Amino acid sequence: MRNWFLTFLLFIISIPFYGGTIEVCQKCNVQTLEEAYAIAEPYDTLIIRAGTYEAIDFEVRKPLTLIGDIGAVLDGKSKSYILKILSDDVHVLDLKLINAGRSYTKDFAAIYVSGANRFSILRNTIIDPFFGILIEKSHHGKIASNVVESNRLREDDAGNGVHAWHCTDLTIEDNELSGLRDGIYLEFVEESLVTGNNSHNNIRYGLHFMFSNHDKYLDNTFRENGAGVAVMFSKFIEMRRNRFVQNWGTASYGLLLKEIYDAEVVDNTFEENTIGIFIEGCTRVNYLSNDFRRNGWAVKVSGGSYTNVFSRNNFLSNSFDVSYNSKMNDNKFEGNYWSSYSGYDLDKDNIGDVPYRPVKLFSYVVNKTPETIILLRSLFVDIINFSERVSPVFTPDNLIDNAPAMKSFSDDQN
Partner 1 sequence: MKRNWLLLSVLIALASCEVEPQEINYGKDGCSFCKMTIVDTKHAAQIVTTKGKNFKYDAIECMINHLNQWDEVSIEFYLVADYANPKILVDAQRAHFIISEEIPSPMGANLSAFGNAEDLQPHIVHSSARTFGWDQLLDEFKHKQ
In the complex, the residues that contact partner 1 under the rule CB under 8 A are 104, 154-158, 165, 181, 187, 203-205, 210-211, 226-227, 230, 232-233, 249-253, 256, 258, 278, 280
Cα dihedral 192, 209, 266, 309, rounded to 10, equals -130
For residue 249, the minimal CB distance to partner 1 (Å) is: 6
Would you say 211 or 409 has its CB closer to partner 1?
211
For residue 179, the minimal CB distance to partner 1 (Å) is: 12
Would you say 75 or 280 has its CB closer to partner 1?
280
For residue 240, the minimal CB distance to partner 1 (Å) is: 23
The span from the CA of 18 to the CA of 8, in Å, is 15
Would you say 24 or 148 has its CB closer to partner 1?
148
Give the H/E segment covering residue 17: helix 2-17
For residue 154, the minimal CB distance to partner 1 (Å) is: 6
Would you say 94 or 280 has its CB closer to partner 1?
280
Distances (CA, A) of 359 to 10, 54, 279, 396: 56, 60, 15, 8
For residue 158, the minimal CB distance to partner 1 (Å) is: 8
For residue 5, the minimal CB distance to partner 1 (Å) is: 40
Task: Phi first, then psi: give them for residue 364, nearest 5 degrees.
Answer: -70, -40
Closest CA to 261 of 241, 280, 242: 280
Closest CA to 249 of 221, 269, 278: 278
Would you say 176 or 187 has its CB closer to partner 1?
187
Would you say 250 or 342 has its CB closer to partner 1?
250
The span from the CA of 389 to the CA of 262, in Å, is 32
Residues in CB range of 179: below 8 A, 6 or more apart: 149, 150, 151, 152, 153, 158, 201, 202, 203
CB-CB neighbours of 295 under 10 Å:
28
Closest CA to 56 of 96, 123, 101: 101
Using alpha carbons only, give the angle 178, 182, 188 rounded to the nearest 5 degrees: 140
CB-CB neighbours of 96 under 10 Å:
18
Would you say 145 or 234 has its CB closer to partner 1?
234
For residue 204, the minimal CB distance to partner 1 (Å) is: 5
Would you say 40 or 256 has its CB closer to partner 1?
256
For residue 47, the minimal CB distance to partner 1 (Å) is: 37
Would you say 11 or 233 has its CB closer to partner 1?
233
For residue 125, the minimal CB distance to partner 1 (Å) is: 24
DSSP bridge partners of 96: 73, 125
The amino acid present at 242, given as its one-letter code, is N
Q: Is the sign of the CA dihedral 355, 358, 359, 363 positive or negative?
A: positive
Helices 379-390 and 361-368, packing angle to 10 deg: 120
Would you say 127 or 232 has its CB closer to partner 1?
232
Q: Give the β-pairing of 96-98 and 64-68.
A: unpaired
For residue 89, the minimal CB distance to partner 1 (Å) is: 28
